[in-house]
Amino acid sequence: MNVYEIKSMAERLDGNTYPGRGIVLGVTADGKKAVAAYFIMGRSVNSRNRVFIQEPDGIRTEAHDPALMKDPHLIIYHPVREVGRGLIVTNGDQTDTIREFLEKGLPMEQALRTRQFEDDGPNWTPRISGLQSPDGSYKMNILKAADPEGTACARFTWEYPAIPGLGHFLHTYVCDGNPVIPTFQGEPERVSIPADIDAFTEELWTNLNENNKISLFVRYTDLETREVEQRIINKHC
């Protein structure tokens, strides 16, 4: 077994109908650009009724059709927000919790000790979070149920250096499931990071399950000039 094996996102997503929501952080092979990506998927009408909207400091989710929105508390949030020269990427409103702590000089881990997995039993969807630093290094975190009843929270954080061509992929679910969707297991998966933002965006969007994919955000940041390129794709345009 090669524990250092790097796979493309196409390989990581191949045949997986429902990885849920996913975060990718990494650095291009030339070491010049930090890369962040976030996608959402959904099975219910409420989950599928969303689009990404660009904000001055990142993006937010919004109901595509407000008349179909039933319960916004796990659906509407800011997945991506800048903080100083860094970038927060999460799958929920813990984005704002992390930003509040960072602005006080406190670490992401401390912020996430005040939060836990989502209150959507029996799935207890994990909260996944990432923090990209100005030098391209990054942290990733998952908060997940420690037992089937959701009585306690298990917390894991990983910290990665900026290695050219390498990224990590963290997602909420292993795969689809019925009645319970299995939560992500193990360390974030090692993935290759293409040099071209459009190639990476296409690779991600094409390989997400057609029935369940909803929206995708991709951002490339030049580590020297801080110039930013971004792409947003919404299934509901």
Look at residue 67 and tell me whether its pLDDT is greater than 90: no
Look at residue 230 and tell me whether its pLDDT is greater than 90: yes
Global confidence as pTM: 0.98
Quote the pLDDT of residue 228: 98
Look at residue 36 and tell me whether its pLDDT is greater than 90: yes
CA-nearest of 122, 99, 80 to 218 is 80
Look at residue 237 and tell me whether its pLDDT is greater than 90: no
Q: Which of 72-76, 100-104, 171-175 has the lowest mean pLDDT?
A: 72-76
pLDDT band, very low/low/confident/very high, at 70 (cuts 50, 70, 90): confident
Cβ neighbours, 10 Å, residue 122: 11
Residue with tokens 């071209």: 196
Looking at residues 175-199, what average pLDDT do you find? 97
Contacts of 200 (CB under 8 A, 6+ apart): 9, 35, 37, 193, 194, 218
Cα 51 to chain centroid distance, Å, stands at 15
CA distance 46 to 70: 6
Contacts of 97 (CB under 8 A, 6+ apart): 111, 112, 114, 115
Quote the pLDDT of residue 121: 96
